[in-house]
Chain A
Amino acid sequence: DIQMTQSPSSLSASVGDRVTITCRASQSISSYLNWYQQKPGKAPKLLINAASSLQSGVPSRFSGSGSGTDFTLTISSLQPEDFATYYCQQSYNPPWTFGQGTKVEIK
């Protein structure tokens, strides 16, 4: 199975900060990497697929990059509604595996 490792596991940031979350795959997954946002008590929401393709309706302050084994999710200017847990997921080979999550908290 492909292991997905996110860092950090949590971070504290202020509104307006630039935030970067990293996801590393245990083997090359090309660009088959997706990012999700989950708020407490809510279902996950797909933000980005194929490493860098922003889903319709997702604010442009979110961006994704990377290929191979190393990927990043960047929030250019953190907004109050962005405080949530973020997960990466590989769609290269089954079983489809997720990172352990990165919780973005208010500083």
Chain B
Amino acid sequence: EVQLVESGGGLVQPGRSLRLSCAASGFTFDDYAMHWVRQAPGKGLEWVSGISWNSGSIGYADSVKGRFTISRDNAKNSLYLQMNSLRAEDTALYHCAKDRGPTVTRAHFDYWGQGTQVTVSS
């Protein structure tokens, strides 16, 4: 059974940093691209970032480019999101999502974690 479990969220002041983690199990992690997708309270889904199976290709939404960094450790079956210079508008539930394929082209998400809440407020 595929499982994606996010952690690392919390309440943080504007301008500060946070690192999210996603622990994956139930599939061959290094065969697939992975993504972060967020959902602001009461709002829809917004793709944040994606990383290919070998970290060779990475993409970001314009809203986080230059502030967030995605990475993965295939030996640990883990995905990460380093979030710097956080803003109030980054407040959301952050989901880790598995891609159906190994690359970040034609991205679509066949398994999702329950998410970790990030709240940016002073």
Interface residues of A (CB under 8 A from B): 1, 32, 34, 36, 42-46, 49, 55, 87, 89, 91-92, 94-101
Residues of A close to B107: CB separation below 8 A? 91, 94, 96
> Closest residue to A42 on the B side, CB-wise?
B114
Q: Which residues of A contact B35 (CB under 8 A)?
A: 96
Which of A55, A91, A94, A99 is close to B44, meaning CB atoms less than 8 Å apart?
A: A99
CB contact between A32 and one of B62, B104, B106 (< 8 Å): that residue? B106
State in angstroms the CA–CA spacing of A92 and B61 once bound together: 15
Q: How far is the CB of A32 from chain B (nearest CB, A)?
A: 6
Chain A residues positioned under 8 Å from B114 (CB to CB): 42-43
List residues of B (43-83) whose CB comes within 8 Å of A's CBs. 44-47, 50, 59, 61-62
Considering only CB atoms, which chain B residue lies closest to A35 in the complex? Answer: B108
Q: Taking the nearest CB of chain B, how far is it from the CB of A80, in angstroms?
A: 23
A92 cross-chain contacts in B, Cβ below 8 A: 106
Q: Assess whether B62 is in contact with A44, with CB atoms less than 8 Å apart.
A: no
CB distance from A60 to the nearest CB of B (A): 19
Which residue from chain A places its CB closest to the CB of B93 in the assembled complex? A43
- The answer to whether A98 and B46 touch (CB under 8 A), given A46-B108, A49-B100, is yes
- In Å, the complex CA distance between A95 and B47 comes to 7
Which of the residues B50, B106, B113 comes within 8 Å of A43, measured between beta carbons? B113
Does A89 lie within 8 Å of B108, measured CB to CB? yes
Q: Which residue of A lies closest to B49 (CB)?
A: A95
Sample 10 A-B pairs with CB under 8 A, ordered by A number: A34-B109, A36-B109, A43-B112, A44-B95, A46-B108, A55-B110, A89-B109, A94-B104, A96-B50, A101-B45
Contact between chains at B45 and A98 (CB < 8 Å): yes
- Let me know if B44 and A96 touch, CB within 8 A: no
Residues of B within 8 A of A96 (CB): 35, 47, 50, 107-108
CB-based contact A91/B108 at 8 Å:
yes
